[in-house]
Chain A
């Protein structure tokens, strides 16, 4: 039994940010603002923030297939240190999570090796190849929380429409990557002055809108529950707004990188800043921050993509894309608080409550009966990020050397402390 007191309780559900107390018993939140009961261990939060643990929707773990980049154990450690209490794994493993057997293997290993909750998404099609439907029903029974082929966009709309229609029958959530596969082929930057100056193959932001529009057509046709993994361009927002207004069951996410960085950060070809989709213009970035503030974009995630040095130390065009993000998600999100003026409960809606609700998980709340998955953090603590101190096996973060504010002090999963900053030398 843990009694947290002297804490700024960040409650995304009620939108409040007040000093209060929280009692956690048997892995669940039992009471708010009650005196300390007998036998409870009191935790003085020192006036720092206590919020529901982050539900990170879309984490790549290298296991199985690329354990040298990230294993379930290191991903779990990184998550605990980053205040992420639920990792929602992407199915882009090798082999892909496209059968109940692979899903079960991953879940079993995850439970034994990681201190945080791990839930997995499954592939929508076998091998994520966009040709044959995966066993959506079996996978759902085995615990898959959503279905996606990741950033591989199928060109075969017939297969996709069947997958969606089938998923609709089971009430499954389908996650798409809005991007026109033809226009974006071979591109590693957003078209515009910067990409032209650097001589990089580039894709128009319009490709995202076109991909999104196509998916909306299929959603309207099939009635499936749909989530766009990353909406990163201002041009896509009116289409998203329209889809929601028309009553389609649609949500959208964005990676923290697209909210805090822009295309100019690539500078002289720094491959740690290569992402899929590529970083956008500053205008787009600001439009996205506003969309998060307006609630048009529902989910912020890390899009954690571990890459070893070998796959990054290459010319920009040839380098692998993606960045690790489990540990930097919270401090980077604090930039939205400090620099963009977004209130903490609103940020936590996107980090925790919305993804949990969308995936049918219990987290994201501080209400009675919610799981005792919590993060205690200091939103103002400044530090300079050193990538070699990250717990992830891969160290490919764009924030290396960046000045950041916001430190995780402790992380609790089901009422158990899984990380405490005191154990780590500063």
Chain B
């Protein structure tokens, strides 16, 4: 078997072969999504619950669409304004949902590790849609698919991840994934936004953006996560844009065919110049969104297959025990 996971909690747990398996399957779903009849039956009869403890429009919509295109019954719980406000703990919420027998649980939470905790308490497959500053695995997978499709490969590329690394789960998942696939990863950002000990991950760290972009194949910009910051990490947005915002001048240091990526939502004029974001020759930002649906379909499909297999095994074991 090439994909053995029960949950998708982080890139950390995935083997390179499993990453390739997801991406290969996602390619098929890209084709499906571009056709007129956007329907598959991989999740038919299954229930998918999207539980977002943090507000999200894009990721939640992407997961919802992915589930619906695969034939699942999809329910959205905006937990941000529900029982959690009444004092219910994360685990109680999880147990309550578990009692409704969902098959796939898509969870986003503001605390690192919250999704791991939840996965220990439920019997269905759990997908991490972002936990605190820890991981956002489907984002890294969709970035990988985008890179593979535009660059023709996912190895031996020089990828510069720029901006607010410290507060970014996208950066963590991406640097783990890109490292596993044997790419050269550079992190670019001011010292205040660089996590401690990150050099030990086998990445190169730059605080000068031009040096960091020199000869890069892929430029991955990150959003300045002001909502996760307590106090000032940069003096001002205009100074940040001047030193770390991606404009034509800085991009010129990257390879001529370098692509520009951004997980969205963008702060135009803060970390990226609007003209670069809209440049169809360089920017693959819209494509990332498209790949997001396909990658999530692939991940849920594979998890559902494993779930069915596990349930069947348990059923046979019960019969054997009787």
* B114 within 8 A of partner (CB): yes
Query: Is A198 in contact with B113, judged by CB distance below 8 angstroms?
Result: yes
Query: Is B169 in contact with A199, judged by CB distance below 8 angstroms?
Result: yes
A313-B89 CB under 8 A given contacts A198-B134, A199-B134 = yes
A317-B196 CB under 8 A given contacts A268-B116, A269-B117 = no
* B40 within 8 A of partner (CB): no
Q: How far is the CA of A186 from the CA of B111 in the complex (A)?
A: 13
* A238 within 8 A of partner (CB): no
* A197 CB contacts on chain B under 8 angstroms: 12, 172, 201
Query: Is B113 in contact with A202, judged by CB distance below 8 angstroms?
Result: no
Q: How far is the CA of A268 from the CA of B12 in the complex (A)?
A: 11
Segment touching B, from A25-33, A101-109, A187-195, A391-399: A187-195
Contact among B89, B112, B169, B230 with A314 in the assembled complex (CB-CB below 8 Å): B89
* B200 within 8 A of partner (CB): yes
* B131 CB contacts on chain A under 8 angstroms: 199
* A315 CB contacts on chain B under 8 angstroms: 90, 109, 111-114, 117, 132
* A294 within 8 A of partner (CB): no
- Would you call the interface of chain A mostly helix, strand, loop, or mixed? loop
* B274 within 8 A of partner (CB): no
* A269 CB contacts on chain B under 8 angstroms: 112-113, 116-117
* B133 within 8 A of partner (CB): yes
* B172 CB contacts on chain A under 8 angstroms: 196-197, 199
* B25 within 8 A of partner (CB): no
Q: How far is the CA of A142 from the CA of B135 in the complex (A)?
A: 54
Those of B107-136 within 8 Å (CB) of chain A: 109, 111-114, 116-117, 131-135
* A316 within 8 A of partner (CB): yes
- Interface centre among B131, B196, B198, by most chain A C-beta atoms within 10 angstroms, is B196
* A200 within 8 A of partner (CB): yes
Q: How far is the CA of A313 from the CA of B111 in the complex (A)?
A: 13
Task: Give the interface residue-count category, chain A.
Answer: 20 to 34
A310-B89 CB under 8 A given contacts A191-B196, A191-B197 = yes
* A318 within 8 A of partner (CB): yes
* B65 within 8 A of partner (CB): no
* B264 within 8 A of partner (CB): no
Query: Is A317 in contact with B197, judged by CB distance below 8 angstroms?
Result: no
* B117 CB contacts on chain A under 8 angstroms: 269, 313-316
Query: Is B113 in contact with A316, judged by CB distance below 8 angstroms?
Result: yes
A199-B196 CB under 8 A given contacts A269-B113, A269-B117, A316-B113 = no
Those of B169-224 within 8 Å (CB) of chain A: 169, 172, 195-198, 200-201
* B111 CB contacts on chain A under 8 angstroms: 315-318
* A290 within 8 A of partner (CB): no
Query: Is B197 in contact with A192, judged by CB distance below 8 angstroms?
Result: yes
Q: How far is the CA of A201 from the CA of B195 in the complex (A)?
A: 10
* B14 within 8 A of partner (CB): no
* A204 within 8 A of partner (CB): yes
- Interface centre among B111, B169, B200, B230, by most chain A C-beta atoms within 10 angstroms, is B111
* B200 CB contacts on chain A under 8 angstroms: 193
- Would you call the interface of chain B mostly helix, strand, loop, or mixed? mixed
* A200 CB contacts on chain B under 8 angstroms: 112-113, 133
* B91 within 8 A of partner (CB): yes
A317 to chain B, nearest CB (A): 5
* A196 CB contacts on chain B under 8 angstroms: 172, 195-198, 201
Those of B75-118 within 8 Å (CB) of chain A: 89-91, 109, 111-114, 116-117
Which residue of the partner chain B has the closest CB to A318?
B111
Contact among B12, B112, B116 with A317 in the assembled complex (CB-CB below 8 Å): B112
Which residue of the partner chain A has the closest CB to B165?
A196
Q: How far is the CA of A191 from the CA of B198 in the complex (A)?
A: 10
* A191 CB contacts on chain B under 8 angstroms: 196-197
- Interface centre among B12, B113, B197, B198, by most chain A C-beta atoms within 10 angstroms, is B113
Q: How far is the CA of A30 from the CA of B277 in the complex (A)?
A: 86
Q: How far is the CA of A194 from the CA of B197 in the complex (A)?
A: 8
B76 to chain A, nearest CB (A): 22
* B169 CB contacts on chain A under 8 angstroms: 199
Q: How far is the CA of A269 from the CA of B131 in the complex (A)?
A: 12
* B132 CB contacts on chain A under 8 angstroms: 199, 315, 317
A195-B196 CB under 8 A given contacts A313-B91, A314-B89 = yes
Contact among A186, A193, A317 with B198 in the assembled complex (CB-CB below 8 Å): A193
Q: How far is the CA of A315 from the CA of B119 in the complex (A)?
A: 12
Q: How far is the CA of A123 from the CA of B132 in the complex (A)?
A: 36
Q: List 30 A-B contacts (CB under 8 A).
A: A191-B196, A193-B197, A193-B200, A193-B201, A194-B197, A195-B196, A195-B197, A196-B172, A196-B195, A196-B196, A197-B201, A199-B113, A199-B172, A200-B112, A200-B133, A201-B133, A202-B196, A268-B113, A310-B89, A313-B117, A314-B89, A315-B90, A315-B112, A315-B114, A315-B117, A315-B132, A316-B112, A317-B112, A317-B132, A318-B111
What is the interface of chain B, defined by CB distance below 8 A to chain A?
12, 89-91, 109, 111-114, 116-117, 131-135, 169, 172, 195-198, 200-201, 230
Extra pairs beyond A193-B197, A196-B196, A314-B90 (9, CB < 8 Å): A192-B196, A193-B201, A195-B197, A196-B198, A196-B201, A199-B135, A313-B89, A315-B117, A316-B112
